[in-house]
């Protein structure tokens, strides 16, 4: 649904983007992560046709944003980092204005306005001035204008910027509710939000994509394998000696708690876990817990961008 190939962009002597490439499949929510100045907003601006690239291409729903900009933009909804709001307009008036800009057919206009307001829970404020709303409600209005024409793709640049914790949760739930019907790519500095919201993650650093995949894949790649926390009732030290020789076990570390071990498994873990569980049961060690232990997204991000 989104295809970016070799995007390159320079501002004078600054290389904002250096051959950035990625794909976003239909119906996915993808988190686009990077520190300030990493190239997130530049990528999104190119993807939405706001600026041009020096090299490379970007396609939305199969349409090249440079060669077929009108067709690409018809299938695109954009929420930039500074929401494009008219504060002196009434909410439903502004959404209608956005719909007309998007050339929503007159016969569908009311239905699309009502749908957008309903999806963003704006029914109670539809007659109020945008400028009199709280920041959280303004952000909802900005999201409503992005979906009013029912686009295939939503590009959201920092959609929870400046919101309080309750508002962040509300916007996150709203974004999740839009998944499936829309393919979504969003940037955020709140890594826990990306971890909780997104199906796939792309990390950009100094204008280059340094890693991409699911959170679990990124965490596993940083750990060099799958790390499992193992807790038994007794004799953890003895169990460690019996586990180390198992095929597929890369490392075994005893923890500060005498009943716990950390076991690193390379490759496909299912067969190794079966052997491990059988060893615990047959040896009478008393299995209490066997759980995958992963790095937080913050740890992964820091390791990739330090």
Note the pLDDT tens digit of each residue in 114-168.
999 998 889 999 999 999 999 889 999 999 999 999 999 999 988 887 778 887 8
224-302: CATH topology is Alpha-Beta Plaits (3.30.70)
The structural domains of the chain, with segments of one domain joined by +, span 2-219, 224-302
Residues 6 or more apart from 306 whose CB is under 8 A from it? Answer: none
> Do 95 and 110 contact (CB within 8 A), yes or no?
no
Average pLDDT over residues 232-239: 89
The string of pLDDT tens digits covering residues 72-126 is 999 999 998 888 899 999 999 999 999 999 999 999 999 999 999 998 889 999 9
Residues of the chain with pLDDT > 70, as a percent, come to: 97
* Residue found under tokens 């740890």: 299
Domain 2-219 classification at class level: alpha beta
pTM higher than 0.85: no
Q: Is the pLDDT of residue 222 over 70?
A: no
Q: What is the CA radius of gyration of the chain?
A: 24
Question: Tokens in use for 98?
Answer: 């956005």
Q: Is the pLDDT of residue 299 over 80?
A: no
HEC profile of the chain: CEEEEEEEEEECCEEEEEEEEEEECCCCEEEEECCCCCCHHHHHHHHCCCCCCCEEEEEECCEECCCCHHHHHHCEEEECCCCCCCCCCEHHHHHHHHHHHCCCCHHHHHHHHHHHHHHCCCHHHCCCEHHHCCHHHHHHHHHHHHHCCCCCEEEEECCCCCCCHHHHHHHHHHHHHHECCEEEEEECCCHHHHHHHCCEEEEEECCEEEEEECHHHHHHHHHCCEEEEEEECCCHHHHHHHHCCCCCEEEEEECCCCCEEEEEECCCHHHHHHHHHHHHHHCCCCEEEEEEECCCHHHHHHHHHC
Q: Is the pLDDT of residue 269 over 80?
A: no
224-302 shares the fold of 2-219: no
Question: Tokens in use for 276?
Answer: 């491990």
Q: Is the pLDDT of residue 294 over 70?
A: no
Q: Rounded to an integer, what distance in angstroms lies between the CA atom of residue 59 and that of residue 69?
A: 10
Q: Is the pLDDT of residue 170 over 90?
A: no
Question: Tokens in use for 169?
Answer: 């949760």
């Amino acid at each position: 649904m989104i295809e970016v190939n070799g995007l390159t962009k320079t501002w004078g002597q600054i290389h904002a983007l250096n051959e950035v490439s990625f794909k976003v499949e239909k119906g996915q929510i993808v988190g686009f992560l990077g520190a300030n100045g990493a190239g997130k907003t530049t990528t999104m601006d190119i993807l939405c046709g706001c600026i041009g690239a020096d090299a490379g291409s970007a396609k939305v729903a199969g349409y090249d944003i440079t060669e077929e900009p009108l067709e690409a933009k018809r299938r695109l909804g954009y929420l930039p980092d500074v929401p494009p709001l008219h504060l002196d307009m009434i909410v439903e008036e502004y959404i209608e204005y956005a719909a007309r800009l998007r050339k929503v057919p007159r016969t569908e206009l009311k239905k699309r306005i009502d749908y957008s307001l309903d999806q963003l829970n704006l029914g109670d404020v539809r007659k109020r001035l945008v400028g009199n709303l709280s920041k959280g409600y303004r952000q909802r209005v900005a999201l409503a204008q992005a979906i009013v024409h029912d686009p295939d793709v939503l590009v959201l640049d920092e959609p929870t910027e400046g919101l309080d914790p309750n508002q962040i949760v509300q916007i996150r739930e709203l974004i999740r509710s839009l998944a499936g019907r829309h393919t979504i790519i969003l940037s955020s500095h709140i890594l826990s939000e990306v971890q909780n919201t997104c199906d796939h993650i792309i990390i950009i650093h100094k204008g280059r994509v340094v890693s991409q995949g699911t959170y679990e894949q990124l965490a596993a790649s940083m750990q060099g394998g799958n790390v499992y926390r193992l807790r038994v009732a007794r004799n953890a030290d003895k169990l460690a000696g019996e586990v180390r020789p198992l095929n597929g076990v890369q490392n075994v570390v005893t923890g500060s708690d005498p009943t716990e071990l950390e076991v690193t498994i390379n490759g496909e873990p299912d067969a190794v876990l079966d052997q491990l569980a059988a060893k615990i049961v047959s040896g009478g060690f008393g299995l209490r817990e066997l759980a995958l232990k992963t790095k937080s997204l913050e740890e992964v991000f820091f390791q990739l961008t330090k």
